Structure 1
Amino acid sequence: MRFQAILLLPLLGLSSARLEPNYTSSSGVSIFNPSDFFDPTGPWSLMSQAGDTLYIAGMRGIYPSNSTLAPVGLPRIRQAFQNMATLAEMVGADLNACVRLVVYTTDMYRYRPMCNDVQIELWGADANKYPPRTIIEVDRLNQDDILEVEGTFYVPRAGLCG
């Protein structure tokens, strides 16, 4: 629980900021790449919004302040989840608005327990509050990373900026 409070402190200041989409398609899909976050490592965007649904791309444990990776293991996994939470907060959502998580890891045996620990830190010990999650072991991730987490969030249109 201590980690949750520490994690959310910097997010509180972001809640009043207005995040504008970088692009909105003719069908109303908004694409977001916040300028104060790290740049995507390829031809993709950090998040998109269609109607009341926010989609956050697979987040890695990259520090937004300098675009470097956190140390391997628990710090990197925490940072990946923190990146997802920060992006959701930028459009007015919180972790309780998460409707689905997908986690990709290169070593289920080693990193799944750490992923579980981070989720308990973020969502608390009440298993009834955990969003559905799929965790998949893969051979390789971008830049030989250890884990990515992507999230889908429900954010009523009135609550979204953009």
Structure 2
Amino acid sequence: MVEQPDTLGGATNSPDNIRRHLTIPGLPKPTGPFAWSVEWGSLVFVSGIRGIDASTGRPADSDQERMRLIFTYLKQILEESGSALDLVLSTRVYVTDMTRHRPLVNEMFERAFGDKLPTRTIIEVSGLNQADSIEIEAVAVRTAARSITPDYQVP
């Protein structure tokens, strides 16, 4: 029996085929040592995104503005990774007050994803970085697996 290479979307599933986006133009700097997204094969894994005002480095003033920024940044990250909002498979949402935030999250999910809703887990937590109130992470499909060089850096 001949072994076939393990592939996803045409890209070999190997540690050499991982692309990390440490910075993305237009997004605030990460608040810790992490990548905004990691591409592997035909998948993109997006770190938790919060509604940080890029001009101040602090969470936006209102929950509505934080959600708007989260989805703006999510769209930018996905596009930089060769994906889009309608290709999001799964999300995890962290909120500090389920009663206050769940209706806002529901509204934004319907607006952003339409009838292509991803899976979602929503978790109430006691606190988030910088006393923030909402954070969302995602996994999406990339539209095309590309050849990846291990030392790739986002310009």
Task: Give the alignment partner of residue 150 of structure 1, picking from 125, 137, 150.
Answer: 137
Question: Cα RMSD between the aligned structures?
Answer: 2.3
Change (3 A) 1:68 1:144: closer
- The answer to whether 1:30 aligns with 2:19 is yes
| Deviation for aligned residue 1:159 | 9.3
Give 1:69's aligned residue. 59
Task: Give the alignment partner of residue 111 of structure 1, picking from 76, 101, 111.
Answer: 101
| Deviation for aligned residue 1:35 | 4.7
- The answer to whether 1:83 aligns with 2:73 is yes
Report the TM-score, using the length of structure 1 for normalisation.
Answer: 0.74
Change (3 A) 1:159 1:113: farther
Structure 2 counterpart SS, 1:87 = helix
Give 2:117's aligned residue. 130
Give 2:32's aligned residue. 42
Structure 1 counterpart SS, 2:53 = coil
Deviations 1:63-105 (A, max 9, x none): 3455343222111112112211111011221111101011000
Worse overlay, 54-63 or 70-79:
70-79
The equivalences for 1:92-107 within 5 A come to 92-107=82-97
Distance 2:37 2:54 in 1: 15
Q: Which runs of 5+ in 1 are unaligned?
A: 1-24
Structure 1 counterpart SS, 2:30 = coil
Task: Answer 1 or 2: which has greater helix percent.
Answer: 1
Structure 2 counterpart SS, 1:148 = strand
Percent of residue pairs bearing the same amino acid type? 32
Distance 1:73 1:79 in 2: 10
Change (3 A) 1:131 1:106: same
CA contact (8 A) 1:58 1:148 kept: yes
Change (3 A) 1:41 1:89: same
4+ runs deviating over 4 angstroms = 159-162
Q: Which runs of 5+ in 2 are unaligned?
A: 1-13
Q: Return the letter of the residue paired with 1:143.
A: Q
Change (3 A) 1:86 1:66: farther
Task: Name the larger-Rg structure.
Answer: 2
Distance 2:113 2:15 in 1: 36
Aligned length: 135
Distance 1:96 1:63 in 2: 25
The equivalences for 1:2-41 within 5 A come to 27-36=16-25, 37-41=27-31
Task: Answer 1 or 2: which has greater strand percent.
Answer: 2
